[in-house]
Chain A
Amino acid sequence: MRKTFFGALCLLILAGCYGPVDIAYHEPARYMGSMDPLLAKERSPEQQELLLQRFNKGQTDR
């Protein structure tokens, strides 16, 4: 009786070691990764201006 009881308890506790309990909840369009150092550069007005120039030069929307 006591043995089965503690056996079952040990089994349950063993099952508790399943995976990390903390979760990273993902939502569409929300960036979850570490900070991208290139992001600040890309968002800078100079870089945006450069991209826009290049974009307008050859972009075609097929």
Chain B
Amino acid sequence: MARMKFLCDTERCIECNGCVTACNNENNVPWGINRRHVVTLGDGRRGEKSVSVACMHCTDAPCAAVCPVDCFYTTEDGIVLHDKDLCIGCGYCFYACPFGAPQYPQQEAFGVRGKMDKCTFCAGGPLPDNSKEEFLKYGRNRIAEGKLPLCAEMCATKALLAGDGTVVSEIYRKRVMKRGGRPDALGWQTAYPAEK
């Protein structure tokens, strides 16, 4: 079975936010919520890099581990989805997620959280595939239509890849080899400095 993965190629991402716009439009995302966002580190400085990030559909998802009402489930394709009929808007998944994927539309005063909303890998939710209710609650179910997430499909530089993890990593591996002369490996060990 395929395991769906996102991969963003930092050498290609040009911070155009096309993926964000595509996602918001395709999934009819509520105002104020971005299921996907682009982060730029060292903006304006030499060697700045951008990454488009959304829910990474973790294997051992922290959101699912802390949810008090157990509303998360992983599909056969390894996509982490949640049931908005169960969600109580407690905010725990937001505390646990390293990527800031879960967000809450503010429905009432005092910042009371509504039902959590996050990237669905364009796979909708637990409701019948491509039904009107599913679209209104979770957005488009492109996976059921045999299509991949629109953010990746729309990416102008093909920086954002989405799909079966093995295929995606194979494409990325070929890219790295083709680029040549750019050994990304130098300096990598300093991410985890040597023990003294």
Contact = CB atoms under 8 A, between A and B. Distances in A.
Interface of A: 29-31, 39, 42-43, 51-52, 54-55, 57-59, 61-62
Contacts of A57: 181
B192 A30 contact: yes
A55 B186 contact: yes
Interface of B: 46-47, 180-183, 185-186, 188-189, 191-194
B47 A61 contact: yes
What DSSP secondary structure best describes chain A's contact surface? helix
B69 to A, nearest CB: 15
10 contacts: A30-B192, A31-B192, A42-B189, A43-B189, A51-B186, A54-B186, A55-B183, A57-B181, A58-B181, A58-B182
A52 B186 CA distance: 7
Q: Which DSSP category, helix, strand, loop or mixed, fits chain B's interface?
A: loop
User: 7 tightest A-B contacts by CB?
Assistant: A58-B181, A31-B192, A51-B186, A61-B47, A55-B186, A54-B183, A55-B183
A58 B183 CA distance: 8
Given A51-B183, A61-B47, A29 B189 contact: no
A47 to B, nearest CB: 9
Contacts of B192: 29-31
A39 B47 contact: no
Nearest to A50: B183
Given A29-B191, A58-B182, 18 more contacts: A29-B192, A29-B193, A30-B192, A31-B192, A39-B189, A42-B188, A43-B189, A43-B194, A51-B183, A51-B185, A54-B186, A55-B183, A55-B186, A58-B181, A59-B181, A59-B182, A59-B183, A61-B46
